[in-house]
Amino acid sequence: METGGKPNLPTPFIAFLYRICNNIQSATMKNVVGYLALFVFIGLANGQEVITVTNGETDGRWGPLETCPSGSRAISYQTQNEIDAPVVDDSAMNTLVLFCDDPLQTNLTSTPGYTGNWQNVQNCPFGAYMKSFQLLVSPAGNTTDNTAVNNIRFMCSNDRDISGIGNREGYWGEYSAECPEGICGLETRVRPDGGLLVDNTALNDVRFTCCAAAEF
């Protein structure tokens, strides 16, 4: 807040906090109000808590947030992976699809990838839902052929984890925080297909929004 440029003000409430912020002389108080505004902004912008992991990669842009219909949540998923890549440029995991437990079995993809084989659908045991996740990632720069995300694993609400076949290289990062009422929204970060002259990595990172307790 103190570094100059005026942020976009998404709501009158943030505008109100921003005005207070400008009228406060003490730098410490400015920081306090600034952080408060930031947390309120994050809360309002997403409606809900966001769960992330720290070992994702940073190429590509975040895709649109897609969410399950009100009152439903994610219970299964499917991935598209370039498992048997030609010798040169492997992009590994490309697409993540989440399935919600609404009657239409709505699926969420955010930004899909562009290549690979569809793996089997993985389901939480009956009655359970997905609440946290972990990524297998090849760190950038380990080889001349970076692949970014290679696989994903979810913890279900009955404390059983589910995972499918993915690419094997890389390291599993820490589990994300848990969504107490489950996962309701998906955003993916995908590096678009750059053709033959770039090192394609496709899926670089994912993050999820938690379901609102009020809906269950």
Ligand X SMILES: *[C@@H]1O[C@H](CO)[C@@H](O)[C@H](O)[C@H]1NC(C)=O
C-alpha span between 106 and 108 (Å, rounded)? 7
Q: How far is the CB of 210 from ligand X (least distance, A)?
A: 22
Q: Which of 70, 143, 158, 215 binds ligand X (CB under 6 A)?
A: 143
Q: How far is the CB of 89 from ligand X (least distance, A)?
A: 14
Closest CB to ligand X among residues 107, 163? 107
Closest CB to ligand X among residues 100, 156? 100
| 77-136 binders of ligand X (CB under 6 A) | 78, 97, 107
Type of residue numbered 3:
T
Closest CB to ligand X among residues 118, 216? 118
Contact map string, positions 146 to 185, toward ligand X, x by CB under 6 A: -----------------------xxx--------------
C-alpha span between 200 and 216 (Å, rounded)? 41
C-alpha span between 206 and 77 (Å, rounded)? 13
Q: How far is the CB of 183 from ligand X (least distance, A)?
A: 17
If binding is defined by CB under 6 A, does position 145 make contact with ligand X? no
> Which spans of this chain sit near ligand X (rule: CB under 6 A)?
78, 97, 107, 138-139, 142-143, 169-171
